[in-house]
Amino acid sequence: MEASELDVAAVRAFLAVVEEGHFGEAAAVLELSQQAVSKRVARLEERLGAELVHRGRNGVRPSAAGERFLPHARALLSVAERAVEAVTGTRRPLRVDVISHQIIGTELLHAFHERHPDIEIDLVTGFRSVRTRDAALAGGRVDAAFAFAADGPFERVPAYEEVAHLLVGRGHRFARRKRVRPAELRGATAWMPGNRTGAEWTGYWHWFGREFGIAMDTSGPDLGIDYLLDWLSSSPEGLSFAGDGVRVPWHEGIVRIPLIDPVPVYPCSLLWRADNAHPGLAALAGFVREHYRPLARGSVLLPPASAAQAAG
């Protein structure tokens, strides 16, 4: 079989399935039907004469042949993108993964864009776990990511350190406090329905809860921050957490209180693959490096690298 016979769209579908671990998730990322993605992967397997993925109840994983094909598939897509850019004279946007549009990383990107308006940025928030985020970074589906920890051999530069805040309703016993120590929350339960299994942020909060004897309840549907704030405002005992850089909407029934002694901190870096040739990447890394301001260590509590993987 000639290399030219490989269908780039099928290769892209294979990578998405492996990175997402599910045909349904891959279909959502590619904006295709699940049936279309399945057909593309099946067509690629037929072309190569080998089964590339194992389909099971717990999702999809690459076969031995799929593992061997994986780095070449990533390289093929990268070459295809550069070929299109060379002919058309256009360059795709710099794709940057952020946990959500409400975090400090997004603010940094806004400031970066103001300084470099010629560099188009595409914010990506679809990767739900450390595994899929790192796979997307390794595979070139994103150029950079704001993250605490990563499994791959990525370049990194410290980006920011986020301080944890307590969120309670005005009827809560801590509502009039200016500061709260984490030890005072021992035995309490925090409701954090947005903490998805496998997510780095989820791992951080589960680690924090174990450190101070705070249970993390992730049950119930994640209906958004407004729903969470409404619930907290009506609960005399309910509590939740957010980073100091998270843009929590103003709510008349909510109080936001810094945590001290120690100050729990979520450190975040900008990660990227060393061989990524996007011209905007060096500018972004330099901008993040320039704006990084570490907190005074004192009573700051930093999580171990393993905390990112402990997603409950």
Q: Which residue has the tokens 């496998």?
A: 198
DSSP H helices in the chain: 8-20, 23-30, 34-48, 64-88, 104-115, 130-139, 200-212, 225-234, 279-291
Which residue is listed with tokens 């795709």?
Answer: 92
Consecutive H or E run containing 216:
strand 215-217
- Calculate the alpha carbon distances from 84 to 20, 268, 278 in Å: 26, 34, 14
DSSP character string of 39-71: HHHHHHHHHHTS--EEEETTEEEE-HHHHHHHH
Tokens of 187: 């035995």
Q: Give the C-alpha separation, 48 to 215, whole Å.
A: 49
Residues 58 and 191 in one domain: no
> Is residue 312 located within the same domain as residue 291?
yes
Q: Say how many residues make up the chain.
A: 312
| pTM of the model as a whole | 0.70
Residues 83, 114, single domain; the answer is no
Whether residue 122 is found in the same domain as residue 227: yes
> Token pair of 3, please?
């290399």
For residue 101, the model assigns a pLDDT of 63
The CATH number assigned to the domain holding 17 equals 1.10.10.10
Instruction: Report CA-CA distances (Å) from 246 to 99, 131, 165, 243, 305.
Output: 11, 23, 10, 5, 22
Per residue of the chain (312 residues), give pLDDT as tens. 444 478 888 888 888 888 777 888 788 777 888 888 899 999 999 889 999 998 877 778 889 998 888 878 877 877 777 776 666 556 678 889 887 666 778 888 889 999 999 888 888 775 556 777 777 787 777 889 888 876 678 899 999 988 889 999 999 999 999 999 999 999 999 998 877 777 777 888 889 999 999 999 888 777 778 888 998 999 999 999 988 877 777 888 999 999 999 999 988 899 998 888 888 999 999 999 999 988 877 778 888 766 655 443
Q: Clarify whether residues 196 and 281 are in a common domain.
A: yes
What angle is formed at CA 133 by the lines to CA 127 and CA 207, rounded to 5 degrees?
A: 90
- Please work out, in degrees rounded to the nearest 5, the angle formed at the alpha carbon of residue 43 by the alpha carbons of 39 and 45: 115
Collapsing DSSP states into helix, strand and coil, what is residue 105? Answer: helix
Domain boundary among 88, 103, 120: 88
DSSP-assigned letter for residue 3: G
Phi/psi of residue 297, nearest 5 degrees: -65, -50
- Is 189 found in the same domain as 158? yes
- Would you state the pLDDT for residue 308? 56
Is 292 found in the same domain as 193?
Answer: yes
202, with CB counted inside 10 A (0-12, 13-18, 19+), is buried
Number of CB atoms found within 10 A of residue 293's CB = 7
Q: Residue 191, SS3? A: strand
Q: What is the CATH number of the domain that holds 149?
A: 3.40.190.290
Total domains in the chain come to: 2
Instruction: Please identify, among 46, 63, 88, the residue that sits at the C-terminal boundary of a domain.
Output: 88
Judge if 61 and 101 occupy the same domain. no
Contacts of the segment 35-43: beta carbons below 8 A, 24+ positions apart: 37/13, 40/7, 40/9, 40/10, 40/13, 40/14, 41/10, 41/13, 41/14, 41/17, 43/7, 43/10
- 8 and 107 part of one domain: no
Taking alpha carbons only, the member of 53, 47, 46 closest to residue 70 is 53
Residue range(s) defining the domain that contains residue 169: 93-312
Residue 82 buriedness (CB in 10 A; 0-12 / 13-18 / 19+): middle
In three-state secondary structure terms, 127 is: coil
Residues 74 and 143 in one domain: no
Same domain, 41 and 182: no
Look at the block and give the residue holding tokens 């705070």.
214
Task: Say yes or no: 46 and 118 in one domain.
Answer: no
- C-beta separation of 193 from 222 below 8 A: yes
Of the residues 61, 88, 115, the one at which a domain ends: 88
